[in-house]
Structure 1
Amino acid sequence: MTRFSTLVVATALSALVSQGVLAQQPAAPPAYAPTVGQAGKDVIWLPTQAWLIERMLDMAAVTPQDRLVDLGSGDGRTVIAAAKRGLRAHGIEYNADLVEHSRRSAQAEGVADRATFSQGDIFQSDFSDATVVTLFLLQALNERLRPTLLAMEPGTRVVSNTFTMGDWTPDDEVVGESGCTSFCRAYKWVIPAQAGGEWRLGEGRLALVQRYQMLTGTLTRDGRTMDITDGRMDGRRISFEAGGRRYQGEVREGRISGQVEGAAWSAERPG
């Protein structure tokens, strides 16, 4: 290009800039960041405190073999914390902006291979493959989820920030650090196997009444009927006292197998 041509081009560009034709393009908008208290589908968004997340994961006794699902995962911090412990963790969140924000955070933290997120309604989503479920919802929403949770694999751990499951008594709870004034408590439940109903023990009979993980009922052996006390389920594990003896065992596929005072005992569903 000749000196004259260069001068013509420079003059033309200067004119275009002065006319706004080649004005600087506007800067890209900043990446989305959530605001504490922002409205959501069912609840406002409040982040779980980092120390409580760690306590919740400890309560659930998570291992790298677990699959954790966080219902209403917000900014992804619980899922990311679980992934940092080596778990496969997944968050379900209704707000698409929060989902994308969580994915960026997982990438930045180097755990995107283990921390995943999907946009969806927790009441319409399938999370039946989880071995640990975490949530920070209102009690009414927990109760709405309760039938789905109780249908999950026995032994699945459910941990909730602050809010309970109504009349379903928790198996464990932790209280926050000194000076914590709000959202300082977590509760844990273990999904129980279904042991309620009639069982045969040889010529004897075990009749169990189950309310969540708690058991009452009677044991009839050798013509003697005894009340069951201190009965409960812990996942598939069953324990109760009857006639001054402590029965322990495991419920699986229509059969209970276990020990009582060092001797084996078993029971089967009739029919």
Structure 2
Amino acid sequence: MTRFTFIALILILILSCTEHTKSTPTQTEATSKIDSIDSTPQTILDNVEIDTILERNNPKSLDLTKHQIFIDTTRSSEFHERIRNWEQSELDKQAIELYLSEINKDFQPKEINLKGFPSHFITLRKLNNQFVLYDRCDGVDPRFKISDTAFISYGPLELGVESISKLISLTSNSIELELRTYQSKSNNQKSRLKIEKIEDFIYKMTYAYQTYNSIEYLTTVNGIENFDLVVNNCTTMKMLEFDGFDKDEEQKKMLTKAKIQAGFRLM
């Protein structure tokens, strides 16, 4: 090999290494961009199909492995059965005992006999001016129970308990009670409850303490089969609750009255 050939070979190798060094950052940069895209954080919602169209449907015609919101018209589906057969949990029972022991420390509750008046009620909501039931995404829709000495409300995430202090009136179609509640809830520890039947399978509940008043429409466990059920079927995670129910005008009036009595300035 001549000296000239040797020098030319060395120059070719140097140039080749230089070109490779120049191209490496470009390849690394491109790879970095791809990795950046792949590693972009995604929320769970990005991979969940959310149903927002409320339609009347039979659950058997739907893919219930996905989120579905629909009006169950069957009156006999697993969703209706779940509401009908709901029972309080052991934690509920323990909480009720604790609440009652606290309220009844210096108080003897009044024991009553309902004489056939229903004891277990479930919230009704209005949709397009028709009463319906609601199967929530999270927790149980409010339901209420009158025992022989207490009034219990089960909410989506918590429950409330009050002792019966007085039976004001009881007929086959209505009951009115004075309740003993917490001092933090009412200065005189009293609240008032009235439940009256206004139509077949429909009851109106009025609850009041101090200046607070609320109205709920209810049905009994036996009345469930008379109403369609709005189902918010959440399979993998918590979704937003359905907020398209009618706003009750009577309820809004009572709330406004309570605010005025309490001295609030309305906007």
What TM-score, normalized to structure 2?
0.23
Q: Which structure is richer in relative contact order (CA contacts within 8 A, separation 6 or more)?
A: 2
Higher helix share: 2
Structure with greater Cα Rg: 2
